[in-house]
Structures are given as C-alpha cells and as structure tokens.
Amino acid sequence: MSAMAPPDKKLKGLVAATFTPFTAEGEINLSQIGPYIDYLAEKQGVKNIFVNGTTGESMSLSVEERMMLAQKWCEKAEEKMDQVIVHVGCMSLKDSQKLATHAKLIKADGIAVIAPSFFKPTTADAVKKFLYEVAKVVPEVPFYYYHIPAVTGVNVPARDVLEGIEALIPSYSGVKFSSTDLMDFGQCVSYSQSADWSVLYGVDEQVLAALALGANGAVGSTYNYMGCHINKLISEFEAGKLDQARKIQFKVQDLFTYAKKCGFDLGVNKQLMNELSGLDLGPPRLPVMSCPEVHALSEKFHSLFPAC
C-alpha cells in the first residue's frame, strides 16, 4: 500500500503471493512481516503483494488471525509497496464479508475472492452471486476474482465469470488467473482490452506464454524468491528478446521439474523460501506438512540462477 498510489491504479508487473510467517510453535509471527517486505522490495524488486491467499495458507487461519495479518501487512507496506491486495475469500460468505469490511478499514488497495470450494458452484451465475455478496459490502475497494480451478475444483471458465461483471460489481478491477487453460486466459485478456482491468497470471512455470497472450502481470509464490529473475524475464520479453526470456523461463521449468520429483508442495516451497531468503517464516500449518530441510533443492536453485 503506497501513499502515492491512487486507488484506481492498474495493478501490473510482479505480485508476490506471500507466505504467512509462523513461530516454531505454529502461531502467527507478525514480527517477520517488516523484514519480509524489505526483502521483497530491496532484494527481489517486487512492489506488490497478495496476502492471505493460497500461499499464505489462509484457509488454515482463523478469521481473527487473517485480520491481524492483513493489518500488519498493510501497515508495514506503506511507502514500500505499490499495492497490497488482501485475499478475503472463505468457505463461509459471512466470514468473507467480515474480512472485506476489515480490509477496507485497514486501507488495503484491493480485495480478492476465490470461488468457494467445498460446495462447488457449477455455473458462472452461482460464482458471481457469491462474489457479488462479498464485493457489495465494500463497494469502493477494488475487487479481484481469484481463479484457481485445480485447487477449488470449480470448473467454470473465468471468461464466463467475467461476462458482465463490471455491471454487477462496479469495483471489479481484475482477475488472478491461475490455470493452464490459455484459451480461457486469452478470452479474459480479450474481454479486458478496452478497460482498465488487470489480467494477472498465476502459473509461474509458464508465465512467458501468458505474457505473449497479453498478461498485465503475474502473481505467484515463487516471485518471493525469484522475483528479480522474473523481472528480468519480463524486461527481456518487453524488449522483444524472446530468446533471452525463454532461457529464464526454461530455468524455472528445470527447477520445477527437479522439485516435483521430490514432491513440491506448499511446505517444501515455504522451506525453500526460508533457505533462500534467510527470513524465518517458520513451518506451515497442518494439513500442509512441514519439511525440515530442502538443501538439495536450494542448491539446484543456486546452480540455475545467479544471485540477484
């Protein structure tokens, strides 16, 4: 959240989906948030954050914990980040509304809502009805739809959710599109061309493909520790140097291929962040299993990428 950023500023470039810091005992650890933001801004060149999302284990947090975390992120981000987007999606609509109201209070630059995933909506109308009920309690806060069907099991094309969303939710500002379906993605870009909306891509290992199709930026967990390299990928892409951009993308894919062979889940990802950043974000919470050590993986990282 930047004092300089007008509320209607278009969200673009890299956005780090932040991990939630825990103590060794599993309690939220607010003291790490300040250093975390400094690390992103200074070491990775990342100026936007998406907090309490999937990477942030929001579904494993209580409503109260989510509020405390969001507040601290917004507070510490002031003058250091361009935008702080607070994810307020829950299984329960009431809880989401409570979090949205709180996000406004703490002056978040935007809120995002994932489709509810226990009872899975099967139509775009049902998804939009849920999004609308959250958005309407804070009509002045920029609203983002968070599309991640492989996790939610909600297999409604994002493009269908976007149809007419600007009339239903005037605060609609963009979509975080975390799916490999690039036909749906392209249709979202195409629908968004004349407007001031962001289409942000969320599958880090193929972000170059999304840029080619017109992504305005990208949100992801790996930008926490390889943001500087992906910033380079983006600048090579924008300069028309596809060969250079591809080289970086292939390294990311090499890392993922290596990591997946060991089981690359959120617990591993968080521990990799701990090792690469030097921050102490602690273990994840159950049901994500903690992962004591990922030395081989961080070595692989260093063998692929130079220091930032």
Q: 113 or 138, CB closer to a second copy?
A: 113
- How far are the Cα atoms of 79, 165, 275, 277 from residue 288, in angstroms, in the given order? 33, 34, 18, 21
Within 10 A of 191 (CB to CB), how many other CB atoms are there? Answer: 18
Q: Kindly list the residues in this chain that would bind a second copy in the complex (CB under 8 A).
A: 57, 59-63, 91-95, 115-122, 126-127, 129-130, 133, 151, 153, 159, 180-183, 186-187, 189-190, 205-206, 208-214, 240, 242, 246, 249-250, 253-254, 256-257, 265-266, 285-289
Q: How many residues does the chain have?
A: 308
Q: Which of 12, 176, 270, 300 is catalytic?
A: 176
**For residues 83 and 6, what is the distance between their CA atoms, to the nearest angstrom?**
10
Q: 5 or 126, CB closer to a second copy?
A: 126
Asked if residue 55 belongs to a known ligand binding site, the reply is yes
Report the candidate in 21, 22, 5, 85 with the shortest Cα–Cα distance to residue 48.
85
Q: Least distance in Å: CB of 6 to a second copy?
A: 27
Q: Which of 39, 144, 145, 146 is catalytic?
A: 146
Q: 8 or 118, CB closer to a second copy?
A: 118
Contact 143, 173 (CB under 8 A): yes
Per-residue burial over 33-54, b = 16 or more CB atoms within 10 Å of its CB, e = otherwise = beebbebbbebbbbbbbbbbbb
Q: Least distance in Å: CB of 7 to a second copy?
A: 27
Residue tagged 């989401």 (tokens): 96
Q: 2 or 117, CB closer to a second copy?
A: 117
Asked if residue 152 belongs to a known ligand binding site, the reply is no
Q: Least distance in Å: CB of 186 to a second copy?
A: 5
**For residues 80 and 170, what is the distance between their CA atoms, to the nearest angstrom?**
28
Q: Least distance in Å: CB of 58 to a second copy?
A: 9
To the query of whether residue 146 is one of the catalytic residues in this protein, the response is yes
Enter the DSSP assignment of 178: -
To the query of whether residue 39 is one of the catalytic residues in this protein, the response is no
**For residues 163 and 158, what is the distance between their CA atoms, to the nearest angstrom?**
9
Q: 72 or 159, CB closer to a second copy?
A: 159
Per 3-state DSSP, the chain is made up of helix, strand and coil in percentages (nearest 5) of: 50, 15, 40
Residue ranges of the binding site for pyruvate: 55, 219
Residue numbers annotated as active site: 146, 176
Residue ranges of the binding site: 55, 219
